[in-house]
A and B are shown apart, each in its own frame.
Chain A
Amino acid sequence: MYVAVKGGEKAIDAAHAWLAEERRGPEDVAELSVDQIKGQLKLAVNRVMAEGSLYDPDLAALAIKQARGDLIEAIFLIRAYRTTLPRFGGSEPVDTEAMACDRRVSATFKDAPGGQVLGPTFDYTHRLLDFKLAADGEVPSAPERAEAPETKPHIMSFLDREDLIQPEPEGAETPPDLTREPLELPAARPLRLQSLTRGDEGFILGMAYSTQRGYARNHAFVAELRIGACAVEMGIPELGFAIELGEVELTECETVNQFQGSKTEPPQFTRGYGLVFGMCERKAISMALVDRALRWKELGEDNVGAPAQDEEFVLYHADNIQATGFLEHIKLPHYVDFQSELELIRKLRREAMGQVRQEAAE
């Protein structure tokens, strides 16, 4: 039974007015500007762009402000906005080899051409609170070193030359798009990668961690992790040629994994891949590990029943907007649903109690 109920408009208006006031916070403290969020909370902005699946730092910063710092709420706002935009087309696949790297490290080769470039990393910090930041934000400027531009070839290309790494198969020029077609299983790798790159960082991290702890163990080395700017190129119909439409910051992680060989494949290293909008290193590494775990079927490995091998489990639960939508809806009024449950349980109790009384009387 469905009964429409009206009411609560005044309460809702008052709640929203109070929300706006709480969002603003104490008025004797300066208001946060969108530019401040964009410039100083950049990693939060990056996460909102990656999981909101829309690269626009200004919008992501605005969403974070509006959501009072609740990143999933901000991602929700971005996803909602995204649906209002006409799609002009799809880009050429980005050329990550040509990335202008802020950071580029390899855990497998010390002397990689192009070198180990640490970039603005939290690694090697002592994780001690810096109380100077509570006082003033003055920082010395970062040192610079003039250097002739140096190419940074993908580390994987070295293993590729020796046939030690499994080659990457070609695919359709226009990949499947889960924002246009509902996600159906089994999902080909391009669809899995799209789902993982916009998936919840915490969920993907947990799944990746489970593979490291032994659930579908596939011991991963980070062959390369690179972060930097890549040009986005797209063919423009009215021009008849492609132009660079813009530049996006990306984090790319390539893992090399042990592989003993299988019935169909010779012993060689296999690969996992992570590519994420912005500087999202934890997410990119996690994505690469989960990508590798999900590839068990195409590599002829055994399904050991690990959660990270189960594409239905991973892909259907990775999206935090779907998850939070379904989860949070249960707090909204279910008065009528619950009323019927209440009546049912009362009836069952009446019957059960009646039976007990009858047995006692006999």
Chain B
Amino acid sequence: MDGSGDPNAARKAWLSVLAKAQAADVAALWAEAGYAPDHEVLRAPEIGAVMVRGRAGAVGAPFNLGEMTVTRCSVRLASGEVGHGYVQGRGKDHAMQAALTDALMQTADAVAVENAIVTPLRNAAEARRTTRAAKAAATKVDFFTMVRGED
């Protein structure tokens, strides 16, 4: 994710965190931070679908698995930064808040915005993942060999 030499790595990472976050979590953090930047809506929140693809045998030819709902939105701050929000599901507020966050992350306030919005969302996602992984690990089979009866 980071340190790969990809100039877009940081932006890609925060956009991915915003996309996968729970809409309610984004709304709560956004309200708490109280951001209300002056902006112009370039593309009003729009609900659509993305065709999710898989590969035959996990490694072979791509095939269409089915669609998922996605909402997108674009904004431009009064200071000029353009933000794009692409989020899973049908949350128009979620997409708008993601686009505004993306724009704010390109301003001088990036560190504060990261601390207020992106980092808590990343931590929440990590916590959900760790809990599930720990429950899965508890169901891992420990095999043991029975002592054979014959000499």
- Chain A interface (Cβ within 8 Å of chain B)? 49-50, 53-56, 58-59, 82, 85-94, 96-97, 100-103, 110-111, 115-121, 142-147, 149, 154, 156, 168-179, 188-191, 193-194, 197-198, 228-229, 231-232, 234, 236, 238-248, 250, 252, 254, 271, 273, 275, 277
- Is B56 touching A90 in the complex (CB atoms < 8 A)? no
In the docked arrangement, what's the CA distance between A54 and B47, Å?
13
Which residue of A85, A229, A246 is within 8 Å of B47 (Cβ)?
Answer: A85
The docked-state distance in angstroms from the alpha carbon of A170 to that of B61 is 5
Say whether, besides A53-B66, A156-B58, A168-B60, A87 and B131 are in contact (CB < 8 Å).
no
Q: Check B69 for interface membership: any CB of A closer than 8 A.
A: yes
Name the residue of chain A whose CB is nearest to the CB of B17. A244
Residue of A nearest to B14 (CB): A243
State how many angstroms separate the Cβ of A228 from the closest Cβ of chain B.
8
Q: Which residues of B contact A87 (CB under 8 A)?
A: 48-51, 67
Check A55–B64 contact: CB distance below 8 A.
Answer: no
Q: How far is the CB of B49 from chain A (nearest CB, A)?
A: 4
A142 to chain B, nearest CB (A): 5
A94 touching B49, Cβ below 8 Å: no
Residue from the list B19, B46, B56, B89 in contact with A190, Cβ < 8 A:
B56
Expressed in whole angstroms, the Cα–Cα distance for A247 and B141 within the complex equals 27
Q: Which residue of B lies closest to A99 (CB)?
A: B58
Q: Which residues of B contact A156 (CB under 8 A)?
A: 57-59
| Contact across chains for A190 and B62 when beta carbons are under 8 A apart | yes
Whole-angstrom distance between the Cβ of B24 and the nearest chain A Cβ: 11
Inter-chain contacts of A175 with B (CB < 8 A): 53, 61-64
Q: Is B80's CB within 8 Å of the partner chain A? A: no
- Interface status of B90 (Cβ within 8 A of chain A): yes
Q: Is the CB of A236 within 8 A of B84?
A: yes
Interchain nearest-CB distance for B29 vs A (Å): 18
A100 touches B57 (CB 8 A): no
* A144 contact from B68, B72, B89, B137, Cβ within 8 A: B137
- Contact (Cβ within 8 A) A91 B90: no
Q: Chain A residues near B58 (CB, 8 Å)? A: 96-97, 154, 156, 168, 252, 254, 273, 275
